[in-house]
Amino acid sequence: MRGVLIIGSLVLLSGFFVAFNATKNPISVYEVDIPVGFPELEFPEGNALTQTRVELGRMLFYDPILSVDSTVSCASCHNQTLAFADNKVISPGVEGRLGMRNAPTLANVGYNPTLLFDGFLKTLEMQVLVPIQEHAEFNSNIVDIAEKLKKDSLYVRMSVEAYERLPDPYVITRAISSFERTLISGNSKYDQQVYQKNNVMNRSEKRGMNLFFNELNCVECHSGFNFTDFSVQNNGLYEVYADSGRQRATKIEADRAIFKVPTLRNIALTAPYMHDGSIATLEEVIMHYESGGKSHLNKSEKIKPFQLSKRERKDLIRFLECLTDYEFITNPAFSNPFE
């Protein structure tokens, strides 16, 4: 390991040094393009977006150095072409280990008031620690990761430029969070129709939109600009759940088998569905809700049976496909910087 010495505004490592001075090197602010209909992003104190913070976070997001054996990165489970979700029921971690939950999309994750299917963690900075330490994910230690990063001159330089400190847990969690806050998706066919006032949706898609918003009132849970009310609910998926849901974190029986309502943006790309990836297609998801779900003590009162014709079901699926943002899944600003 290289020797490290900090003297005033100089960070010295054997073979090179990095100087920083906030007054002489003005911060390059990262401009976020907020889509029409979206609220402004909020940032935690001390972690406003800058170019270097976002780029450092992007590198860390794609770098398998975060896992104990350098085989798995954040991007291993959150693929850009799949709207930063995965197409596997459960994404494998180090040594092929499997956890219990399906990888959710990171689209618009910076707007989430709570994180994980538990809806329990309050900040992205806290969430970053979860996969790092999970045995079935990275099985690593953030302090050990920081030591590895200190041996890389580029990571050292960027850490100092971004946060005026060497790579450490503070830098790692905040940089990755900064990159994730830029993952904004708001240019789907639906957005073009509703917010940009372009008549791009066909008759089937419009009929499906009417079903979604009016006849079926799906917006009781999937409301707002991000198609979620961010609440936690039981949707009657099982009578007995292998995963205790939010109750795992709170230990409260009323939270058993309660999971966060997911965003429906890019939903056509994020199969399989549900917290455990147990439903393969959108049609099967709709049929689950048509059935009214299974009995469970904590099942939401909003889950009630209904009936659709074959055409109506097709129309609803066509509308959900209108929530796909193709610009988002091809944006080079979000892609792997190592390729």
Alpha carbons within 13 A on the beta-carbon side of 96: 0
User: What CA–CA distance (Å, rounded) separates 328 from 162?
Assistant: 25
User: What CA–CA distance (Å, rounded) separates 301 from 329?
Assistant: 35
pLDDT attached to residue 26: 52
pLDDT attached to residue 22: 39
Q: Is 291 helix (H, G, I), strand (E, B) or coil?
A: helix
pLDDT attached to residue 5: 36
**Exposed, middle or buried, 29 (CB in 10 Å: 0-12/13-18/19+)?**
exposed
First CA to last CA across the chain, in angstroms?
27
User: What CA–CA distance (Å, rounded) separates 276 from 27?
Assistant: 42
Q: What is the dihedral of CA 33, 49, 107, 260, to 10 degrees?
A: -130
Residue 187 DSSP symbol? -
User: What CA–CA distance (Å, rounded) separates 199 from 214?
Assistant: 20
pLDDT attached to residue 27: 67
Residue 82: how many CB atoms within 10 A of its CB?
Answer: 18
The closest alpha carbon to 130, from 142, 114, 146, belongs to 142
Report yes or no: 34 and 184 within 8 Å, Cβ to Cβ. yes
pLDDT attached to residue 18: 42
Report yes or no: 233 and 300 within 8 Å, Cβ to Cβ. yes
Residue in the structure block whose two tokens are 């976002």: 54
User: What CA–CA distance (Å, rounded) separates 6 from 21?
Assistant: 13
pLDDT along the chain (339 residues), means of 10: 35 39 60 94 93 98 98 98 98 96 97 94 95 97 98 98 98 98 98 96 98 97 97 97 95 96 98 98 98 97 97 98 98 97
Residues in the chain: 339
Amino acid identity of 305? Answer: P
- List, in order of start, the domains of the chain with CATH numbers: 4-185 (1.10.760.10), 189-321 (1.10.760.10)
Alpha carbons within 13 A on the beta-carbon side of 323: 24
